[in-house]
Amino acid sequence: MWRFLQISDLHFGEVACQQAINHSMHRQIPEIMQCLRRDAPRLEADFLVATGDLTNQGGCDAVFAARDLLDFLDLPYYPVGGDADFREPESRTWFIDAYSGHLPLADTVYSFTHKNLHFCVLDPWRLWPDGSLAPIMTGEETGEEVWAIPPHQLHWLEDDLRSHQDIPTVVLLHYPVLPIPERVSQYDDGNSRGRITKEHLLLDLLANHEQVKLLLTGHTHYHCIRSHKGLTEISTGALVEYPIEYREFHVYDDRVEVYTQGLSNEGFAQESLIEGREWPRGSADDRELVIALD
């Protein structure tokens, strides 16, 4: 058995929080990362994945500062970009420069294999009302933000999966793909947290590659686990917001066991919590499960 971890939505450099469900602990993010660094050795994880919105605005200084925070964990890691990371035209260049020591190649779209699992990372683009797809997130705001996976990334994914068809695979992207179940969506006010659209293009592709068992996403700021036709999606809440938790994956030859863990210092979560808004921690179904790999 070996382990890896998932954290999401650090929103480093946040000034004013526009989408918090509970109090955003962005000012305490260095202390939160210090606590995670202290907690991490006992977890014996081989690496960590950070599923996007590592910064809040994607400015050059923030990208490198967030990189320094992740480096501070002293654990190998793989970064995934989110909408907040890629606001500026140069954001992806800064991201690739900052994480050059962690990315397998100089791109925000990449794959890697670790022991008995393969991982594919995608970078959806913003879909604008006129139907155009653009890598830049800023423009005339029109309410709900939607993203889609550009065709060239779908072609790349198809090729990558074809050449790794005998190894169980995890696909990572920042935005949720599968519908949010009623048990969770009843709380989410739908206040334009945004979503991936044209998701059937990805799901149809993945349906032809049964080795893909798992989608890991963020962006929601709440924990949610759901499955569809043999594919399980795990959306992980924000590390700066209640319940300030991460996911722990125990990988065996025949299965992956998923656990949801809090920091040893529970004070951050208590300070973030607004009374009555405990729902982002999810139900039991959003916190633990076992995924078969065969």
Residues that bind Fe ion (CB under 5 A): 53, 82-83, 219
| Least spacing, CB of residue 3 vs Fe ion, in Å | 26
**CA 11 → CA 7, 53, 173, distances in Å?**
12, 5, 16
| Least spacing, CB of residue 172 vs Fe ion, in Å | 14
Picking from 111, 115, 133, the residue whose alpha carbon sits closest to that of residue 124 is 133
Please, which residue, 81 or 168, has the CB nearer to Fe ion?
Answer: 81
Please, which residue, 53 or 286, has the CB nearer to Fe ion?
Answer: 53
Please, which residue, 86 or 169, has the CB nearer to Fe ion?
Answer: 86
Residue in the structure block whose two tokens are 């996911």: 247
State the Cα–Cα distance between residues 286 and 22, nearest whole angstrom: 18
Is 210 within 8 Å of 162 (Cβ atoms)? no
Q: Which residue is nearest to Fe ion (CB)?
A: 219
- Cα-only R_g, the chain: 18
Is 1 within 8 Å of 250 (Cβ atoms)? yes
Strands (E), the chain: 2-7, 47-51, 77-80, 110-114, 117-121, 125-127, 133-134, 146-148, 169-172, 195-196, 212-217, 224-228, 231-235, 245-251, 255-262, 289-292
State the Cα–Cα distance between residues 210 and 215, nearest whole angstrom: 13
Q: Give the number of other Cβ atoms within 10 Å of residue 134's Cβ.
A: 13
Please, which residue, 58 or 82, has the CB nearer to Fe ion?
Answer: 82
Picking from 39, 13, 19, 35, the residue whose alpha carbon sits closest to that of residue 241 is 19
| Least spacing, CB of residue 89 vs Fe ion, in Å | 18
| Least spacing, CB of residue 53 vs Fe ion, in Å | 4
Please, which residue, 150 or 168, has the CB nearer to Fe ion?
Answer: 150
State the Cα–Cα distance between residues 76 and 65, nearest whole angstrom: 17
Q: What share of the chain is helix, strand, coil (3-state, %, to 5)?
A: 25, 25, 50
| Least spacing, CB of residue 174 vs Fe ion, in Å | 6
Give, for 204, the enclosing helix (H) or strand (E): helix 199-207
Please, which residue, 83 or 199, has the CB nearer to Fe ion?
Answer: 83
| Least spacing, CB of residue 29 vs Fe ion, in Å | 16
| Least spacing, CB of residue 64 vs Fe ion, in Å | 20
| Least spacing, CB of residue 82 vs Fe ion, in Å | 4
State the Cα–Cα distance between residues 293 and 290, nearest whole angstrom: 10
Please, which residue, 21 or 251, has the CB nearer to Fe ion?
Answer: 21
Please, which residue, 169 or 272, has the CB nearer to Fe ion?
Answer: 272
